């Protein structure tokens, strides 16, 4: 039996800088047929049924000081994972995404610019909407946490990281 402690943070799961940290006890039990992962979890985390990842409880996200509505500024794509994509497709998508950026404006609009091709969006606290979706019924869910936007449209998860002022100036 292997017992270990891991230190994790709600923010670290999304790749940001840790501001609050919690401990979770992990007990790995090996048998002849399977390896079972048993986690003693804190009150603000859950274990998903289909994976062994510790994920933050969404009800806790609102209480965290760096989580909330997306902040205005320039963002670059740092990660894009598509369901059932091959390695070659992943590399191709990564190269395409690295050619663009996302601009979040204070007026509730956003512009995704990929290699000069611009797509306009509206956004609220939970979703991005194409500018043509005036009724705002076909939202693309996102969460903002620690300078990072994580967008999950059901088949693709994309992460955008906020640029520093200096990096944003170099875009223009």
pLDDT of residue 9: 33
The yes-or-no verdict on residue 130 having pLDDT over 70 is yes
The domain ranges of the chain are 2-61, 69-171
DSSP assignment letter at 163: P
* Whole-number pLDDT of residue 81: 82
Pick the CATH number of 69-171 from 2.30.42, 1.10.3470, 3.40.50, 2.40.128: 2.40.128
CB count, 10 Å around CB of 149?
Answer: 23
pLDDT at 57: 52
Contacts of 149 (CB under 8 A, 6+ apart): 70, 75, 102, 104, 142, 143, 159, 160, 162
Residues 76-87: pLDDT tens digits? 988 888 888 888
Following CA atoms 112, 146, 18, 27 in sequence, which dihedral angle do they give, to the nearest 10 degrees?
Answer: -70
pTM: 0.56
Report, as an integer, the average pLDDT of 54-65.
48
Q: H or E stretch including 90?
A: helix 87-97
Does the structure show a pLDDT above 80 at 96?
Answer: no
């Amino acid at each position: 039996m292997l017992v270990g402690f891991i230190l994790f943070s709600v923010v670290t799961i999304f790749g940001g800088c840790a501001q609050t940290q919690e401990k979770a006890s992990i007990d790995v039990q090996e048998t002849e047929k399977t390896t079972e992962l048993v986690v003693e979890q804190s009150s603000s985390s859950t274990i998903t049924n289909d994976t062994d990842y510790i994920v933050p409880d969404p009800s806790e996200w609102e209480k965290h000081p760096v989580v909330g509505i997306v902040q205005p500024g320039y963002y670059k794509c740092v990660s894009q994972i598509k369901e059932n994509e091959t390695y070659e497709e992943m590399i191709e998508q990564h190269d395409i995404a690295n050619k663009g950026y996302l601009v979040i404006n204070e007026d509730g609009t956003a512009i995704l610019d990929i290699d000069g091709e611009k797509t306009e969006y509206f956004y609220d606290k939970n979703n991005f909407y194409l500018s043509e979706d005036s009724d705002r019924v076909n939202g693309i869910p996102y969460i903002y946490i620690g300078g990072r936007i994580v967008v999950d449209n059901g088949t693709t998860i994309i992460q955008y990281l906020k640029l520093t002022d200096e990096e944003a100036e170099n875009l223009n």
